[in-house]
Amino acid sequence: MLESILKRASVGNVTVALPAGDLPSPFRGMPEVGEAFRTGGAAATCAKACATDAIDPEKRTIDLGRCVFCGLCEEACGGEGIRFSQNPRLPWGKRENLVLGGSDVSLAPASADLRSLLGRSLHLREVSAGGCNGCDLEAQALGNPIFDLQRFGIDFVASPRHADGLLVTGPVSKNMREALVKTYEAIAEPRIVIAIGACAASGGIFRGSYAVEDGVGNVLPVDLFIPGCPPHPLTLLYAILGFLGRSPEKIPRG
């Protein structure tokens, strides 16, 4: 017992402070669009390299709801069209908020009534709806001492009866559709749905398969989409806190 206490004391506080810095290599964060993408031929070059059709060369947009952050577009254009930064702050909100290009993205936080009802507490039931578990692992990491989701009054619960909403990962396989809907219906109203990752937003690499629903939005009304493949825990923190109208700049380390 004494050895454990001494070891804990020597480690100190490992919880990350917010706002945090850039993601460590090799994580990819917010993509930066260059002038060659907006006005030159880089958009077409990047689009040819994209395996998930996330880039529209005519509209010159990037759909982060489809992007799997593989970096092939950056490699194809030599970083002149698209370059992935290590900034963990990605767009979030409604599905259209994940499309970059044209105009500035306007984020859509929860309504004032919903924020007032939740107060400083949010309990979520997570459902893995046919994904690869990458997003599930990053969401699970939110509970470790480094990210410490509970310091914000947010936690995961075992029963939908105890939850304020759902956090869903995966493209929603046909076999998981009924279980997902029943879990949603077991949550008391008003309830929220958070879809994390490219699969949950659009089907990701599974989009168009006979076995999936191409995202949570085709099954349930989604209040918050968070892009990534998978999204880093910091990205999840920024998005969820932003949705709740809580500024990371005003949150202590804990």
pLDDT, tens digit (0-9, with 9 covering 90-100), for 174-224 = 999 999 999 999 999 999 999 999 999 999 999 999 999 999 999 999 999
Instruction: Of 253, 199, 203, give the one whose Cα is nearest residue 231.
Output: 199
Cα-Cα end-to-end distance for the chain: 25
| Co-location of 122 and 206 in the same domain | yes
| Co-location of 142 and 56 in the same domain | no
| Co-location of 133 and 169 in the same domain | yes
| Co-location of 233 and 187 in the same domain | yes
Average pLDDT over residues 103-116: 79
- pLDDT computed for residue 254 by the predictor: 41
Residue 217 belongs to some domain of the structure: yes
Judged by DSSP in three states, 156 sits in strand
Residue 98 belongs to some domain of the structure: no
Residue 173 belongs to some domain of the structure: yes
| Co-location of 59 and 144 in the same domain | no
| Co-location of 66 and 174 in the same domain | no
Q: Which amino acid would we find at residue 230?
A: P
Distances (CA, A) of 162 to 122, 155, 156, 189, 217: 10, 11, 9, 12, 23
What residue numbers bound the domain in which 152 lies?
A: 112-250
Instruction: Of 204, 241, 235, 217, give the one whose Cα is nearest residue 95.
Output: 217
Residue 53 belongs to some domain of the structure: yes
Tens digit of pLDDT for each residue in 141-163?
999 999 999 999 999 999 999 99
Instruction: Of 31, 145, 151, give the one whose Cα is nearest residue 99.
Output: 31
Residue 170 belongs to some domain of the structure: yes
Nearest 5°: the CA angle 198, 126, 85 is 35
| Co-location of 76 and 136 in the same domain | no
Number of domains in the chain: 2
Residue 18 belongs to some domain of the structure: no
Instruction: Of 77, 67, 78, give the one whose Cα is nearest residue 31.
Output: 67
Domain boundary pick from 48, 66, 84: 84
| Co-location of 172 and 232 in the same domain | yes
State if pTM tops 0.95.
no
| Co-location of 69 and 128 in the same domain | no
Structure tokens at 187: 């949550």
What is the number of other CB atoms lying within 10 angstroms of the CB of residue 199? 33
Burial 16-34 (b: 16+ CB within 10 A, else e): bebebeebeeeebbbbebe
Residue 14 belongs to some domain of the structure: no
- pLDDT computed for residue 249 by the predictor: 62
Residue 40 belongs to some domain of the structure: yes
| Co-location of 144 and 245 in the same domain | yes
| Co-location of 122 and 241 in the same domain | yes
**Which three-class secondary structure string do you get for 60-74?**
CEEECCCCCCCCHHH
Tens digit of pLDDT for each residue in 21-73?
899 888 999 999 989 998 888 999 999 999 999 999 999 999 999 999 999 99
- pLDDT computed for residue 41 by the predictor: 87
Instruction: Of 159, 128, 122, give the one whose Cα is nearest residue 244.
Output: 122
Task: Tell how strand 61-63 and strand 224-226 pair up.
Answer: unpaired
CATH of the domain at 186: 3.40.50.12280
Average pLDDT over residues 232-246: 94
| Co-location of 140 and 201 in the same domain | yes
